[in-house]
Chain A
């Protein structure tokens, strides 16, 4: 089991906005980061330090945090955004780094 909790699945209509959330105690001490994972491909870092976007990541991806809950927003979801999304952070307990269980995003 993961100490970062994500909804297993979310769907959104093409072009609409979707929010994917991640909740856990560690987020009150450490920043949340977000990754996109497609089958057969390496994960891609989308957001780091809660709100920062690496170069090359489209502006429609943004991140935020409130208390122990972090969010990934996709503003105007595209067909190519259909993927699994994972949050992660440093861990307050035994493990150095932890991942959320992942959210499968379906574009309708």
Chain B
């Protein structure tokens, strides 16, 4: 069955960097786009970023544009989200989720991981 497992969360100081990852299994990874969505404590879901099936194009939310870099390694079935210049307001559980299509055509997130918690605090 489809599995997505996030890792790499932890505590980082404001202005610092952190790389979180999503390991996929149970499907043909190279055929599907992958999203990241976050949920800050007590807040709603916020879409963060999307990468197409072949890694050729990434899309970012305005709130993180210029500070996050999304990449994927189809040989290792992993997606990585490198976060730089982190702010206190980036504190959240970060979920990776699989799109039903290669390029995000339909806009829904079909399968989700359990999330990894990123805390930005001094």
Contact = CB atoms under 8 A, between A and B. Distances in A.
A31 interface: yes
A42 B50 contact: no
A99 B47 contact: yes
A43 B45 contact: yes
B72 to A, nearest CB: 16
A33 interface: yes
Interface stretch (B20-28, B84-92, B107-115): B107-115
Contacts of A48: 100, 106, 108, 110
Interface in B82-122: 95, 97, 100, 104, 106-115
B41 to A, nearest CB: 11
A44 interface: yes
A89 B112 CA distance: 16
A12 interface: no
25 contacts: A30-B107, A31-B107, A33-B109, A35-B45, A37-B39, A41-B114, A42-B113, A42-B114, A42-B115, A43-B112, A45-B111, A48-B110, A49-B106, A86-B44, A88-B45, A88-B47, A88-B107, A88-B109, A95-B62, A96-B47, A96-B59, A98-B47, A99-B45, A100-B44, A102-B44
A97 B59 CA distance: 9
Interface in A55-103: 84, 86, 88-90, 94-102
B109 A45 contact: yes
Contacts of B108: 31, 33, 45, 48-49, 88
Contacts of A89: 107
B44 A95 contact: no
Interface of B: 35, 37, 39, 44-47, 50, 59, 61-62, 95, 97, 100, 104, 106-115
A88 B61 CA distance: 14
Contacts of A37: 39, 45
A62 B16 CA distance: 44
Contacts of B107: 30-31, 33, 88-90, 96-97
